Chains A and B, each alone.
Chain A
Amino acid sequence: MAQRSSEGKPRKGKGKVREKANKEPSLLALVASTVGSLSASRQSAFLEEMDDLVETFRELLDGKIKKVSLNHAAAWASLNGKAVGFVDGGVANLQGIGAAPVAIRVGTYVVRPGISGPSRERFTFTQHLIGELFHTRFDEEDSEAVFDEPSEMETKMRDAARMITEASGTLRLVEKQPDLSLVFVHGPLVNPVAPYADIPSLSKEAVERLTDEKGSDKEDDRHFIAVYKGILDRLKDTGVPMAGIIERSSSKSLMNSILGQHESSMRPEEVGDIKTRLKEFGINDALLFSFLLEAGEYLEFQPIDKNLRAKAPEKWEDMIVSYPHPLTTILKATQTSFPFRVETWPKTPKATTEELLRVTYHMARLLPRYAFPVGIDIADKFAKFPAWLSNQLSREMAATLLRKALETGDPETIRQVQMLLSSRSRDWFFRPSWSE
C-alpha cells in the first residue's frame, strides 16, 4: 500500500479524483470504460485506489511536473518564417485478394507560419509502398513485394512495413529539406522491434526504396530490425529537432519508468504493490495522468528504453539494445482532454525540448476538443487513404486477377477465381459446385 501521512489522516489532495471525474465527463467516460471490465469489488474500490495512486505519483514526481504558459502570440511569433514539418502515414484498407496486397504512403506537410503566398505550405508524399506484402514462388520476375517470402506472421509484417515506411518518409523529408526547424511525427519516433525478430527479411527492392541505398545480398542485413535501425540512426543524426506524438497511449512505460527511477528510495514491497494495483485496476499512463496533470502541465522528459535486452532474442540482442532511447513526456493540453505522449531524440538540448513542447501545446490548443497538435491532424488527413481510393484499388486488383484467370483459358482456374472473388465470410465458397 502507498505511504499514508504520519498521523494516518488523508493526505492533501485526496478525493480529487472523484471530484475531477464528476466535473469532467470525458474523464468519467474513460473511468467507466476501464471500470467496466473489472470485478464488482474492484469497481467499488476504483476511485479510492485511483486517488491514492495519483497522490503517490504526485509525491514521486515532486518538482518534475512542469507547465507551459498559454501565450499564442509569443508561441507563433517564435516560429515566424521558420519551416515546420509534419509527417504521417496512411494505410489503405484493401480487401484480401491475391497474396496480400499492401498500400502504405507517407504524407508530409511543411508550413512557414507568418508567411503568405505559395511558399507558405507544401504537401508532398515522400514515400509509398504499394504492391504485395511478400514474394511467392508464383511471382513474375518484375513483381514487387515488401518481404522476401510469405509467413504466417502477416499482421506483424504489415506493422513492420508501416513503421519502416513512415520512418523512411520522415527521413526523406528531412534529408530533402534540411532547413526544417522542427519536425513532428504522428506516432512514436522509436518502436519496440523485438516482436518482429522472426518475420522474413525485406526484399532488395523494398530496401532500396526505403533507404535509397542498394539492398544487401545478405538476408540479415535486409531484416527489418537492421534496416529500421539504420533509418532511425540517420534520422537522429540529421540533428533536426523532432517529436513523435502518440495519442491515446495504452502504454504503462512512463509509470514504470518513474517507479524504476525511485527504486532506490522506495521499499521493493511498495513498488510491487503499486505495480500490482496498476495491473489489477487496468490503469495506464493516459488514465493516471488524466487525473494527475492540469491543462498545460507535462512531465520532465525522461529516457525510455523500449527495446530492452531482456526481451531481445539472442540473434538480434546487440542490435536491439543499441536502438535509441527516446526522451519521453506526457502533456495534457486542455482540462477536459486526455494527455498525449511526446517523444524526442536522446540528447536533445533542454531548450529544444521546451520549444518542441511549447509548439506542441499551442498546436493542440488550436484543436481544443480533440486536444491534439493540429499540424499532425492536417498531415493525418492528407496521408489518409480515402475509402473510394481503397475500394478502387480493391476493384482494380480483382479485375486483374480475373483477367489473368481468363487468359489461361482453363475453366477450373476461372471457376476458382470466380469463387474467390465472390466469396464472403458466410457463403458457399467451400461448398461443392453444381458441376461436381
Chain B
Amino acid sequence: MATTMKNESEKWTPIGNVVGTASNVEFTFVMKSYHGRVGDIVAVRMLVPSEQLGREVTAVVWGRVVAISRYNPFFPVEAAQELANEGIRPLDTVLSISRDQLEARCVVLGFTLDGDPDFRFQPLTYPIEPAGEVLRPPKDALEGLLTGPRAEHTDDIPIGHLISRPDVEVKLETIPLLARHMAVLAMTGGGKTVAARTIIHHLATIGYPVLILDPHGDYLGFYHKKDRLPDGTVVRVFYPHLSLSSDNAWIVTLLLEKMTTGQTEPQRHALEKLMKDNPVSGQTLSEYFATLRKKAFESMEDEDGGGKGKGATLGVVIRQVNIVEHKLQEMERMNQTIRQRIPGTSFEQLPDTTREPWEIIAPKHVSILYLGGYDHLTQSTIVSIVMENLFGHRARLDGTIPPFFTVVEEAHNFIPGGTETTAGTPSLETLQKVITEGRKFGTGLLLVSQRPSRIDATLLSQCNTFLVLRLVNPNDQGFVRRVMENLTDEDARVLPAFGPGQGIVSGQAVRFPVLVNIRMIADFQSPRLGTEDFISEVDGWRKPSAAHKLGESDRRIQQRAARRKRKDQ
C-alpha cells in the first residue's frame, strides 16, 4: 500500500506538531488530547536530501511514541496539598483542571519514500522538520509498513495486534524466527505461554515440526484439542525414557556426583572402573544403575579377599548408586502420578531419540515431552540427551528428521547463567550448541522464561527476536535492557506497566520494535494443573478407608520384597 498522502489524506489524521530540537533519531511533539498512546506509530511527512546533492525527495518519516508526559502548568503542587488536607475537590474551586499539555517523545524508526508501494525502509539521516505535522497513519499504511516488501506473507505468524491499534495486525516473519531463535520473557501471568501457544499453533497449522519441552504441562491443550488443528496434524505426548549410550555415559558420573554428597577420588576411580568393566549398551538410566549395583556387589565380594579398603570404597559407591537409583525411581513414580491426574491424555514412552527420532520429529507433528515430577538436574539431563541426539541427526544431515522448532519452557532452568550453577546443568552445553549452530541446520529454539536474569546472557543474546511482556523484577528488567540492543530506556520503563498479553516485540522477525497485544487462542489452554480446587478437596476429605489402608500395606510388602531382592543380589 502506498503512502501517497494526496490520495489518502483524509485517512492521515493530524495529531500534533513537532516541538523543540528534533534530530534524526528522536523528536518530541505536542499531542492533541486523547489522540495517541505510548506504542503508537506516527508519521511526519517532510523533505529529505536525495542522493543527488542539493535535491530533495518527499519522505514519510516513521516514529514510535515511547513516552508521553502530561502536565497541567496551571495546577500548582501546593494547591493539591491543600485540597487533600481540606478534603475538597479541585472541580469545586477556581483551580484549572482542563489545561493538560501532552508531550510525546518518539524514536525515529526510519523513513519510506512517499508513494513507495513496498514501504522500503531506510535510515533517516536528516533531522525531523521542526513544527512538522505529526500524523496518525491509516490501517493500510501501517500494515504495509509492518509487513514491508515481502511478496508473500502467508507463512507469517499473526502474533496479535498493535497495542494501541486493534485494527492493525502484527505478524512475525517466520524464516528468521525458525532459524535464528526467539525468546519470550515475562513474569508469571504476563502471557508468555499464551504467546508461545500462538506461535506453536501457527507452526502446527503450516505443518512445521514442533518439539515442546514442557515441565508443567502448559501445552497439553494441543493434545486435547488436536481436532482443532488442520487435518493430518499429529500431537503426541511423551514421558521421559532415556537410553544410555557410550556418547552420554558421562551422565552416570554427573548424577552420582550431584544427587549424592559427592565422590572422593578413590570412589570416582572405583566407579570409573565399574563403568569400564560394564559399558553402557542401550539400557535406560534405571537399568544401568541396577547393573552397576549388581556388579559392584560382586566386585566387593571379590575385593574382600584382596583388602578391606577397596571393599569399603565399593560399599560407598553402592550406597551412592542406590541413592541415585532410588531417586530416579521416585521421580519416575511422581511423573507417573501426575500423568494419572491428567485425564484423557495418552502418554507415550519417549522413543529412542538415537534410533527412532522420526517418531518425535516429523512434518505435521507436535511432540510434547512432559517433564513434570523430575528435579531440575534430571530434567536438564533428559533435555540434554534428547536435544543432543536430535541435533546430531540434523547436523549429520542423515535425512532421518526434517528441520524442527523446539519450545523450551522454563528456559532459565536449562540454560542458567550468572550466579546459577552451570556445572550441574548438562543441557546448557547442548542448547548452547543448538543456539550457536542451529541456524545452519534448521533447529530453531523458542526460549520461554519468567526469570530472564537467570538465563545465560550470551546465549540469550543469540536470540534474534524477542518478545518481552510484563516484567516487574528490576533485575530482570535491567538484564533484558542489556541483552536487547534496540530496547530504549523508555521501553524498559514501560515493562512493569504492561497488562497480561501486552508486550514489546523486536528483532529480525519484525521490521522495528512494536508494542503488541498478543492474540489469545483459548482453544489450546491446558488442563489447569496446579490450580485445581484444593479447598473443595479438603472439604470432602475423609479418613483413609480400610481399603486404602490395605493398599498401603501392599505397598510396604512390595518395598520390603524389593529390598530383600537387592540384598540377595
Q: How far is the CA of A367 from the CA of B74 in the complex (A)?
A: 12
Please tell me if the beta carbons of B93 and A120 are within 8 angstroms of each other in the complex.
no
Q: How far is the CA of A369 from the CA of B73 in the complex (A)?
A: 17
List the A side residues contacting B97 at CB < 8 Å.
120-121
* B contact set with A: CB distance below 8 Å: 73-74, 76, 78-79, 81-83, 86, 88, 91-99
* A contact set with B: CB distance below 8 Å: 72-73, 76-77, 79-80, 84, 86, 109, 111, 113-116, 118, 120-121, 123, 359, 362-363, 365-370, 374-375, 377-378, 381-382
Please tell me if the beta carbons of B78 and A116 are within 8 angstroms of each other in the complex.
no
Q: How far is the CA of A73 from the CA of B89 in the complex (A)?
A: 10
CB distance from A417 to the nearest CB of B (A): 27
Residue of A77, A114, A121 touching B98 (CB-CB under 8 A)? A121
Please tell me if the beta carbons of B79 and A77 are within 8 angstroms of each other in the complex.
no
Q: How far is the CA of A77 from the CA of B89 in the complex (A)?
A: 11
Please tell me if the beta carbons of B92 and A113 are within 8 angstroms of each other in the complex.
yes
Please tell me if the beta carbons of B98 and A375 are within 8 angstroms of each other in the complex.
no
Residue of A114, A118, A381, A382 touching B92 (CB-CB under 8 A)? A114
CB distance from A387 to the nearest CB of B (A): 14
List the A side residues contacting B98 at CB < 8 Å.
118, 120-121
Please tell me if the beta carbons of A367 and B94 are within 8 angstroms of each other in the complex.
no
A72 in contact with B79 given A113-B94, A374-B95 (CB within 8 Å): no
Q: How far is the CA of A286 from the CA of B554 in the complex (A)?
A: 99
Could you jot down 8 A-B contacts, CB within 8 Å?
A76-B93, A77-B92, A86-B94, A116-B91, A362-B93, A370-B76, A374-B94, A381-B74
Residue of A77, A111, A118, A123 touching B94 (CB-CB under 8 A)? A111
Please tell me if the beta carbons of B79 and A121 are within 8 angstroms of each other in the complex.
no
Please tell me if the beta carbons of A378 and B74 are within 8 angstroms of each other in the complex.
yes
Of all chain A residues, which has the CB nearest B76? A367
Residue of A73, A123, A359, A381 touching B88 (CB-CB under 8 A)? A73
List the B side residues contacting A109 at CB < 8 Å.
96
Of all chain A residues, which has the CB nearest B79? A366
Please tell me if the beta carbons of B99 and A374 are within 8 angstroms of each other in the complex.
no
Q: How far is the CA of A249 from the CA of B293 in the complex (A)?
A: 101
CB distance from B267 to the nearest CB of A (A): 77
Residue of B78, B91, B95 touching A378 (CB-CB under 8 A)? B95
The residue in A77, A365, A367 that gathers the most chain B C-beta atoms within 10 A of its C-beta is A367
List the A side residues contacting B91 at CB < 8 Å.
113-116, 120
List the A side residues contacting B83 at CB < 8 Å.
366
Of all chain B residues, which has the CB nearest A116? B91
Q: How far is the CA of A378 from the CA of B73 in the complex (A)?
A: 9
A76 in contact with B96 given A367-B79, A377-B76 (CB within 8 Å): no
List the B side residues contacting A80 at CB < 8 Å.
92
Q: How far is the CA of A362 from the CA of B92 in the complex (A)?
A: 12
List the B side residues contacting A77 at CB < 8 Å.
92
Please tell me if the beta carbons of A111 and B96 are within 8 angstroms of each other in the complex.
yes
Of all chain A residues, which has the CB nearest B83? A366
Q: How far is the CA of A115 from the CA of B89 in the complex (A)?
A: 11
Known: A72-B88, A359-B94, A381-B73. 8 other contacts (CB 8 A): A72-B93, A84-B94, A115-B91, A118-B98, A120-B91, A363-B93, A369-B78, A374-B95
Please tell me if the beta carbons of B81 and A368 are within 8 angstroms of each other in the complex.
yes
List the B side residues contacting A381 at CB < 8 Å.
73-74
List the B side residues contacting A359 at CB < 8 Å.
94
